[in-house]
Amino acid sequence: MQRTYRPPTLSNLKSNSWQFAGEWLTGLMIAATLASWISLTLVWQSIPIYLLPIAGGLCLAFYSSLQHEAIHGHPTCNRRFNLVLVGLPLLLWLPISHYEKNHRAHHRNELTRPDVDPESWYVTAERWQRMSTFNRLLSVINNTFAGRMIIGPLLTAYVTFKEMVFGTPGSSRSVIDALTQNALHLIGVLLVIGWLWKIAVMPIHIYLLAFVWPATSLLLIRSFVEHRYDNNPEARTAIVEGCAAMRLLFLNNNYHVVHHRYPSLPWYRIPDVYWQLSGTSSDKQPEVSRNVVGGPWYAGYANIARRFSFSPWTSPIWPGESLSRDAINCDAMNQTSPATANNEALPPAAVVSMHK
């Protein structure tokens, strides 16, 4: 029998004696990551060429995980100070202000819906009809694990740049705000490039290939299966348990259901809440789905890679639009049978277990 979960209270989350230590640890990790980036860029010529993308990619991917933590109110209670701590655009293509705005909209709006969820890779049926054959092919390839790692970074940077120039669909950002944020981002990029050029003596193409690209690929691994459309909005978020190294790299954001239920929950408290939500106390039960909302559950990222390396994990077309239209038509044809009109067009999402 599933245990009844009691949500964490303010007292047991923020008055805990090790909450203070946990936030200090987050601050120290930010400092250590910035120090690691400085060190790697200074000694890059002495690092074997096959190790540089690993070290650079892990460093910047972890930095982005810390940016995500800062957006959600850590390590301090001062929002602006948190963003300043992680505001240097080491990835070059991602302004922290843009990341914060889009990510908050992602949490606030309907998940996966392309016209309101800035982090959705789905496209509407209408847009799909207007897309060229080449762009459709890119969308399909981008929904494979290999495609997301290889072309995903380019597509992500392109979409971000377009949103910086033309604005995010559905956003109400003023022209002055846009210009200010873009100017601040440009200053940060110039600082990073100036450091690489004058101090580290690193060509920009080396930095892009050995730091930015692998880091963005790692981040896209985490987000690859995070959200998938389901008739039940509560079941659109996945759980990927993963190994300890990946959980640390992503600061437990792989437990994505917990993160969406409690967005301000710090990374070091997420596992405990997850095990309470799942009604289990151990990770030794791989056959049991622990995604209590009925969404996808995966044992690890290696299993995801094996299953979806060259197979799209979902359709690029958002199903919600057609399903809503079908429901309206069904209601019109079955006015005497409300039960028929309320039937779901698709069955509830089955729990995805990589062991099946």
Q: pLDDT tens digits for 96-133?
A: 999 999 999 999 999 999 999 999 999 999 999 999 99
Half-sphere exposure of 243 (CA within 13 A, CB side): 5
- Structure tokens that stand for 38 in this block: 């400085």
Count of other CB atoms within 10 angstroms of residue 16: 13
Q: What is the pLDDT of residues 314-333, one digit of tens each?
A: 999 999 876 544 433 333 33
At residue 205, the 3 state secondary structure works out as helix
CA 46 distance to own-chain centroid: 33
pLDDT value for 19: 73
Half-sphere exposure of 180 (CA within 13 A, CB side): 6
pLDDT value for 170: 64
Nearest to 348 by CA among 242, 232, 239, 266: 232
**Helix H or strand E encompassing 41:** helix 17-42
pLDDT value for 278: 76
Output the CA–CA distances (angstroms, integers) from residue 265 to 74, 78, 258, 300, in the order listed. 9, 16, 8, 22
Output the CA–CA distances (angstroms, integers) from residue 252 to 19, 26, 263, 329, in the order listed. 16, 13, 12, 43
Between CA 231 and CA 240, with CA 235 as vertex, the angle to 5 degrees is 140
Q: What is the DSSP letter of 291?
A: -
Rounded (10°) CA dihedral 183, 188, 192, 194: 60
pLDDT value for 126: 94
Give, to the nearest 10 degrees, the angle between helix 213-223 and helix 52-71. 50
Low-confidence ranges of the chain (pLDDT < 70): 1-18, 170-173, 279-293, 322-356
Question: How does DSSP assign 93-105, residue by residue?
Answer: S--HHHHHHHHHH
Distance, CA of 24 to CA of 295 (rounded, Å):
34
